[in-house]
Amino acid sequence: MSIPHLPPLPYGRQLISEEDVAAVAEALRADLLTTGPRSAQFERQMAEMTGAKHAIVVCNATAALHLAMRVAGVGPGDRTVTSPNTFTASANCAAFVGAIPDFSDIDPVSYNLDPVTLAAGWKPDTKAVVAVDYAGQPANLPEIARVARAHGAVVIEDACHAVGGAFSHEGREWKIGGHPWADLTTFSFHPVKTMTTGEGGMILTDNDEYAERARILRTHGIVRDARYFTGLGCDENPAFAERGPWYYEMIDLGWNYRITDFQCELGMAQLRHLPRFVARRREIVARYNEAFADVPWLKLPGLQPPARPEMTSWHLYTLQFDFTALGRTRTQVMDVLRTQWGIGTQVLYIPVHLQPWYRHTYGYGPGKCPVAETYYTRALSLPLYPAMTDADVERVVKGVLELS
């Protein structure tokens, strides 16, 4: 069967309304375009939504992860452990600060870091754990934090897939970004995520010192607040000692990780839609689970405590295919779905420790994370985004079921 007249369905995409466009247009007419009052307003709204004390918005989530490393004091010689089942930035952020990126295996149900494996493989030089909420499913942060904090390590939650999500622990609902088991949490606002600013990222934390340092480092390490001033080293010269309205000091080596105000206006508009976006994602996941539950060559994504289906903000819907039983390679399956049904799929992710740079730099190789490696050989993500209609969802279901 072939249906070329239907529009293609990518594995993920943004949903931008006319209301969003109007909000951005209004922001573009303002006096300030880069980091300004709208950025600060967006931060306040995200802090309120999550329950975090501080929200620091930056240009992208990789910048957020990098800053999280810096403000947490992770540096040369420190080991940072993360999941191999993630985008490379979750590990690269450690290399950016001279630390040693390392990997611990995932559990076979949620595809997140396995706390038992993490504890068993703990090395004494580990300074931080980057726990990834793969596909929007929250990692077991209470258990991961218990392991890490027993060794004095910091916990950074890479929640780039999980904006708008929550989990249940000890009879209470905890919002992603606002719970006590992560010292810092990072969000992504890339277009395929649950909400978007075009490009953008955020750090959320209850730690005042971390927040203060992140705000300084995202703007070149430059401050204009006299509380931080120490002088230019030549204050005996009156021209250098004068501190007029132009005056600033660079007190640390930072970066230009700022975001624009019009991107943050889009973020605020998207935030108003976020409950609807997340609810639609859950509806689509429920329909997929119903349709594929009894297919012998498919394994559905699962949830491990503390995650709950009604609290998870699904970013990806990843099935495990038994390609041997199906009699097709993964490439063939992707090609059939694309050419005959207009269905886009994606492989998320190639285990990071197998990437050439990591193999050559740290000597990692096959066998280090066997669960993640096996998962990779079978994983394929289907379209999942709130703009999908019921007819779109049924097209995906039919296309997959007719593979056999």
The predicted-structure confidence for 89-105, as pLDDT tens digits, reads as follows 999 999 999 999 999 99
Q: 383-397: per-residue pLDDT in tens?
A: 999 999 999 999 999
- Report yes or no: 157 and 310 within 8 Å, Cβ to Cβ: no
Give me the mean pLDDT over the 220-226 stretch: 97
Q: 295-306: per-residue pLDDT in tens?
A: 999 999 999 999
Residue after which a domain boundary falls, among 273, 302, 334: 273
CATH of the domain at 185: 3.40.640.10
- Residue 1, pLDDT > 60, answer no
Tell me if 1 is assigned to some domain. Answer: no
Give me the mean pLDDT over the 36-47 stretch: 97
pLDDT for residue 241: 87
Tell me if 357 is assigned to some domain. Answer: no
* 212/174 same-domain check: yes
* 269/292 same-domain check: no
Give me the mean pLDDT over the 321-338 stretch: 98
Triad 105, 291, 328: Cα angle to 5°: 65
pLDDT for residue 343: 98
Residue 256 DSSP one-character state: B
Triad 228, 69, 227: Cα angle to 5°: 5
Q: How many domains does the chain have?
A: 2
* 244/308 same-domain check: no
* 264/292 same-domain check: no
pLDDT for residue 3: 57
Tell me if 356 is assigned to some domain. Answer: no
Q: Give the N- to C-terminal CA distance of the chain in Å, as an integer.
A: 13
pLDDT for residue 233: 86
Pick the residue with more confidence: 233 or 289? 289
Indicate the pLDDT class of residue 47, thresholds 50, 70 and 90.
Answer: very high
* 268/280 same-domain check: no
* 122/150 same-domain check: yes
* 309/186 same-domain check: no
DSSP, residue by residue, 272-335: HHHHHHHHHHHHHHHHHHHHHTT-TTEE-----TT--TTT-----EEEEE-HHHHTS-HHHHHH
Pick the residue with more confidence: 240 or 52? 52
* 87/156 same-domain check: yes
Give me the mean pLDDT over the 105-125 stretch: 98
CA distance 144 to 82: 11
Q: 364-373: per-residue pLDDT in tens?
A: 999 999 999 9
Rg (C-alpha) for the chain, rounded Å, is 23
pLDDT for residue 368: 98
Tell me if 5 is assigned to some domain. Answer: no
Indicate the pLDDT class of residue 244, thresholds 50, 70 and 90.
Answer: very high
Tokens of 78: 């420190």
Tell me if 7 is assigned to some domain. Answer: no
Q: How many CB atoms are closer than 10 A to CB 8?
A: 11
- Residue 35, pLDDT > 90, answer no
- Residue 292, pLDDT > 60, answer yes
Average pLDDT score over the chain: 97
CA-based torsion, 192, 197, 198, 200: positive or negative = negative
In the chain, pLDDT over 70 holds for what percent of residues? 99
* 159/40 same-domain check: yes
pLDDT for residue 4: 55
Give me the mean pLDDT over the 183-201 stretch: 98
- Residue 18, pLDDT > 80, answer yes
* 252/294 same-domain check: no
391 is in which domain, residue-wise?
275-350+362-401
- Residue 254, pLDDT > 70, answer yes
Question: Between β-strands 79-82 and 126-132, what pairing exists: parallel, antiparallel or unpaired?
Answer: parallel
Which are the contacts of 166, defined by CB distance < 8 A and separation ≥ 6?
Answer: 138, 173, 174, 175, 176, 311
pLDDT for residue 89: 98
Indicate the pLDDT class of residue 186, thresholds 50, 70 and 90.
Answer: very high
* 44/188 same-domain check: yes
